Amino acid sequence: MNNYYEKIEHLIRKREINVRVRNLQDNTEVIKTYWEIGRLIVEAQGGEARAKYGNELIKKWSLKLTSLYGQNYQVRNLRKMRQFYMSFKKRPPVGAISWSNYRELLPIKDENKRNYYLNLCLTNNLSKRELIEQIKSEAYERLLEKPEHIEFIGDNKEYKIKEHIRNPIIIKLSKEDEILKESDLQLKILAELQNFFLELEEGFTLVGNEYKLKINNKNYRIDILLFNFKLNAFVVVELKMRELKKEDKAQIEFYMKGVDEELKEDFHNKTIGIIVSKYQDSYIVSFVSSAGIIPITYNLLD
């Protein structure tokens, strides 16, 4: 019986993989085609400097193309393709990002800002809705430290945590949620792991909550233990329903040292700490590393 199930699962898995590959290939072809159409429109209109004056040509071509191939080639869409080429003429765009996502990014003139969201789409496989949410929440504007130049992903530059931390960090809180104690906050973060990790930038994954760690033959429990594959390091998270105290840094550094000694492999970087503490109606996220503490406002929003 199990053998039959395994055969069925294998067939389904194979089909799903093939579907995803075909979808990626189809999207790559769409992106390449639209970029080329945009390039040809610009050239036909006499170059980029004159492109915006060639709308009559687009209207003329649109009438022919829509009658032959449908609504995808309406005037508005052909203008988008022209804009698409002009926005990405330095480097042809990649097919791993959907056309609907590219369209959302076209109004962004700042290349750094646009590259930031492109990288976010790639590393987090954002849907159109998720991308719109990130743009509306001003994820780029909230970066704690913006690099002078953000390269489109693939340049293998060193990953610097401060370049990827936003301020404030935002987590949505419904009216039904009531945060009265640390366990409530822990449950909220665990329930919103995907959003929480997205706010902290890419690379975070959950190792465990209330994670038991043995240090000097004594058992301790870490509120939340993460691992970040970009930083190649464990991340200890401690939650406090009060303002940050001096001893909190000592406590989390003790846990960080314990993780380094008990869990960290030689090829891992040193463990990082995150303390979430209460301040008036907001929370503060403090990143703890060998460089010290970086405090960040942490908003819980309706």
Indicate which CATH number applies to the domain containing 219. Answer: 3.40.1350
Average confidence (pLDDT) over 173-202 = 62
State which of 94, 129, 145 marks the end of a domain. Answer: 94
- Read off the pLDDT of each residue in 209-226 and give the average, rounded to a whole number: 87
- For 236, phi then psi, to 5°, come to -90, 130
Q: How does 181-201 read in b/e, with b if 16+ C-beta sit within 10 Å?
A: ebeebbebbeebeeebbbbbb
Degrees, nearest 5: CA angle 200-205-211:
110
Task: Tell me what pLDDT residue 214 has.
Answer: 87
Same domain as 47, residue 130: no
pTM of the complete model: 0.56
- Show the tokens assigned to 95: 């097919």
Indicate whether 47 and 120 sit together in one domain.
Answer: no
Give the pLDDT band (50/70/90) at residue 299. Answer: low
Please indicate, yes or no, whether residues 187 and 147 belong to a single structural domain of this protein: no
Same domain, yes or no: 60 and 165: no
**Alpha-carbon gap, residue 35 to 27, rounded angstroms:** 12
Buried b (16+ CB within 10 A) or exposed e, 220-248: eebbbbbbbeebebbbbbbbbeeebeeeb
**Beta partners for residue 170, in sequence order:** 299
Report the number of distinct structural domains present in the chain: 3
Question: Does one domain contain both 234 and 295?
Answer: yes
Same domain, 214 and 260: yes
Of 16-25, 77-86, 250-259, give the lowest mean pLDDT range: 16-25
Q: Quickly state the pLDDT bin for 193 (edges 50, 70, 90).
A: low
When the pLDDT of each residue in the chain is averaged and rounded to a whole number, the result is: 76
215: β partners: 218
Same domain? For 186 and 250 the reply is yes
Lowest model confidence (mean pLDDT) among 22-36, 119-133, 264-278: 22-36
Question: Looking at the structure, do residues 271 and 195 belong to the same domain, yes or no?
Answer: yes
The whole-number average pLDDT for the span 103-130 is 86
The number of residues making up the chain comes to: 302
- Same domain (yes/no): 261, 187: yes
Q: Cα-atom radius of gyration of the chain, to the nearest Å? A: 24
- Domain that includes residue 152, residue range: 97-157
Which residues are registered as beta bridge partners of 295? 286
